[in-house]
Amino acid sequence: MTKLMMMIARMAMSVWFACSTVGSPKRGTVAEGIKRKQRDASEKMTKTASFCLSAEQSHIAAEERDKKKGAPAAKGIVATLLSLNPLAFVARPRVRRVDSLEVIRKRIQVKEEPPSPFPLQTTLGLPTRDALQALEPKMKKDIQEQEPRGPTDVPPHNAGATASTDSSRKCTSADEDTSTSHPGLPSVLEGPASPGHKVADKKRSREESQPKDKKEPRSSPLRPADRHQLKGRTASRLLLTAGLVVFAMILVALSVLVVRRVYSPFHTPAADVCDSEDCVQHASAILASLNRSADPCVDFHVHVCGRREADRAAEGTLAHIREVFNQLGDAQAFLAPNRSSAAAKAFAAVSRCNVDRGTSTNAEDFVKFMRERGIPWPRPASTSGKGVGRSGVLDVLLDLAINWRVALWFDVTVSMRHDTPVIIIGDVGDIPALRMEHLAGADGATYNNVVRNLSLFLSDGKLTLNDAEVKELHNDETLFRRALLFDDAYDAGEGFDDLVPVSDISTVFGQAVSPAHWAALLDKYLNAAINVSAATEMLIVKEQQFARVGSIVGSLPYQRLLNVLGWTFAYAYAWTVNTDFDVLSAVTGDVFTHVQCFVAVQESFGIVQSAPMFQDTFDANERSKVIAALSWTSASLVELVKSSLRLAESTKLEARSKISSLVSKRIWPPEPYLHASSLDVLYANFSDDAKSFFGVWLQSKKALRAALDSPYYGSLMTSR
């Protein structure tokens, strides 16, 4: 019966071991899974062997006691069989893992199992009976150390059955939890607890009640050495990362300091440096136009203004005049009795221009003036009263510029240079330039309509131009307009003025008109002021622009030249008699009309309009302050030149002389401009009692022509 019980137990244990081995989950890699299975199998086999050996010995002892007492042994056998019931696996208390059989585990892990005389048991992975008996003493000791005793002892007659049943349950339930046992079960290999055992139990209870360090499970993939090495690596990485972050922060801080140092250099302004808003703005403008690559000793203008970009919209005639007009303010404010009569006449003319002009259909006075000047447009050029040819065109231009202050393509004035008269060929007039800018913004259809309407107005509705004539006139006028309004070379600082005698005028203007004709025509209109000869000097302002005009004059027939000249004059001044020709559209509004009136009066009265405002702003005290500031500036500049280590002595001497000559120039208008009484005497022949604005315009032109020999003609009366 005992052998039958042992065979059943061993077969059940074999089936359990096979099932637990096959159904275990895979973790990690294949090698780790095999090692884990071998380790788990060794632990299970060791515990199972120890429990089964205890159960067998307990059962033998129970049988011997039963034999002595004469009791049947069936009870122990039935208890053993009942221990195989699967229901016995439920609600088993968990206990600590048995960590005793370390030697057996190591031998099983390295496959150093002792040779077994039973092939079947070896195949099933179970320990033999002899091996179990050999390991009995050590396993008994381990079991005594690991399993605690219960609070009460089991009776002797029932101890064997209880031990056998519990041990059998342990054998059959090892697949559920290899680390479980009954906490209160006493040792089945011993009798009642002896006093020595009680002392040992109390000592062991005190040791178990003390907290123990929690050990790392043996199934952990990291060994203590690996964990220590991993902690060291983590600390090194953290230290390296912190160092890199600190280095990056330092690098960013240094970069910010360098950028601030470069773009915002630390400096302490000198006590004598002007740091007001006006001074800073003026200094910024100078630095923006300064061309440091140019040698100031070779061309000072290019050095100072070489980088200035031409802004045609801002520097156009219209924009400049609007700025002046806005600064003057309300014209009626200057009509007060305490102002000079000269300024009052000028502002009265401006007021009449803004108020008295109407949409008159009678252009008789305006057309009469054109015929007297030799301008036949819109009629054929053969009806002109001037000489035939290009010299006749030049005759019309000089008459308009000198006698009537109408500078269509260029201006002509006279100035004195070291008591020697100089004829100045200046820029196009403000009114023609203003009206040209107006035409430049018109499309083709608008341009053609204006040409036809103006021709009908001047011919009293009898003459109109066909499409071919309008197109030809448009193309010719565009050539002159582009040459006069847009001077890229001069705006970029590359243009220059030229001083030549009348005999060499052809070198600039071209061969369209001979120098002899130039001398004769200039003497015809300037004989009241100077005597013109071939040796008379001519100062040509904007030489390249004047040369382009001469080139166009030489390329077109004189008939087409007279047509362009007549159309340009008619459109430039027809608005003075008819407001229908003020503007091409309502976009510009009343401001454009006010500006036109102001500029038209300025052509006749010069800068007298601004005399009251100038006198109020720059009294004697303010003028002395300006002179002191200029003197201090020039003295500082001279000291900088003298202290320079890079300039030669000859260069320093030349620079000092240039600075002195510039400062000594007149910075204020002539003396009559600063005194109202003297200014009134100068403008005594100007009248403001004409019936219309065009009448005022004609009277002022005649009075200005009578003052042609005045020393203030060029410096004050025709100044702009």
Summarize the confidence of residues 147-161 as an average pLDDT.
43
- Cβ pair 29, 36 in contact under 8 A: no
Residue 584: predicted pLDDT? 65
Residue 488: predicted pLDDT? 55
Question: Which helix H or strand E contains 499, and what residues bound it?
Answer: strand 498-501
The tens digit of pLDDT for each residue in 567-620 reads 999 999 999 888 888 876 554 556 677 778 888 888 888 888 778 778 777 888
Q: Cβ of 367: how many Cβ atoms within 10 Å?
A: 19
652 in a domain, yes or no? no
160 in a domain, yes or no? yes
Q: Given strand 537-540, what is the order of strands in its sheet?
A: 411-417, 420-426, 537-540, 498-501
160 and 41, same domain (yes or no): yes
- Cβ pair 186, 103 in contact under 8 A: no
The tens digit of pLDDT for each residue in 172-193 reads 443 444 444 443 433 333 444 4
Residue 462: predicted pLDDT? 86
Q: How confident is the model at residue 196 (pLDDT cuts 50, 70, 90)?
A: very low
Residue 404: predicted pLDDT? 92
6 and 130, same domain (yes or no): yes
CA distances from 526 to 102, 391, 422, 512 (A): 134, 17, 11, 22
Query: Any bridge partners for residue 501, and if so which?
Result: 537
Instruction: Please report where in the chains the tokens 């019980």 appear, as a residue.
Output: 5
294 and 239, same domain (yes or no): no
Residue 409: predicted pLDDT? 94
Residue 198: predicted pLDDT? 45
Summarize the confidence of residues 532-547 as an average pLDDT.
92
DSSP code per residue over 364-427: HHHHHHHHHTT--TTS-GGG-SS-SSHHHHHHHHHHHHHHS---SS-EEEEEEETTEEEEEEEP
Instruction: Tell me, yes or no, if the pTM score tops 0.75.
Output: no
567 in a domain, yes or no? yes
439 and 483, same domain (yes or no): yes
Q: How many domains does the chain have?
A: 4
168 in a domain, yes or no? yes
Instruction: Please report where in the chains the tokens 């009248």 appear, as a residue.
Output: 687
**Helices 30-69 and 74-82, packing angle to 10 deg:** 160
Residue 13: predicted pLDDT? 58
444 and 324, same domain (yes or no): no
Bridge-based pairing of strands 420-426 and 537-540 is: parallel
Q: How confident is the model at residue 228 (pLDDT cuts 50, 70, 90)?
A: low
Which of 263-267, 450-454, 660-664 is predicted most confidently? Answer: 450-454
pLDDT averaged over every residue in the chain: 72
292 and 420, same domain (yes or no): no
528 and 460, same domain (yes or no): yes
200 in a domain, yes or no? yes
- Cβ pair 429, 555 in contact under 8 A: no
197 and 254, same domain (yes or no): no
The tens digit of pLDDT for each residue in 92-118 reads 444 444 444 555 555 555 444 444 444
703 in a domain, yes or no? no
Q: Cβ of 58: how many Cβ atoms within 10 Å?
A: 24
Residue 439: predicted pLDDT? 85
The total number of residues shown for the chain amounts to: 720
308 and 445, same domain (yes or no): no
- Cβ pair 700, 638 in contact under 8 A: no
What is the CATH classification number for the domain harbouring 374? 1.10.1380.10
455 versus 186: the higher-pLDDT residue is 455
Q: Which of 679, 704, 4 is nearest to 342 (CA)?
A: 679
Phi, psi of 203 (to 5 degrees): -65, -40
Phi, psi of 456 (to 5 degrees): -65, -40
| Percent of residues, the chain, with pLDDT higher than 90 | 18
425 and 375, same domain (yes or no): yes
Q: Look up the domain containing 529 and give its range.
A: 363-576
159 and 45, same domain (yes or no): yes
Cβ partners under 8 Å of residue 488, min gap 6: 310
Tell me: pLDDT of 171 over 70: no
For residue 569, count CB atoms less than 10 angstroms from its CB and return exposed for 0-12, middle for 13-18, buried for 19 or more: buried
193 and 304, same domain (yes or no): no
390 in a domain, yes or no? yes
Round to whole Å and give the CA distance between 461 and 459.
Answer: 5
Summarize the confidence of residues 495-507 as an average pLDDT.
88
465 in a domain, yes or no? yes
Cβ partners under 8 Å of residue 1, min gap 6: 73, 77
Tell me: pLDDT of 553 over 70: yes
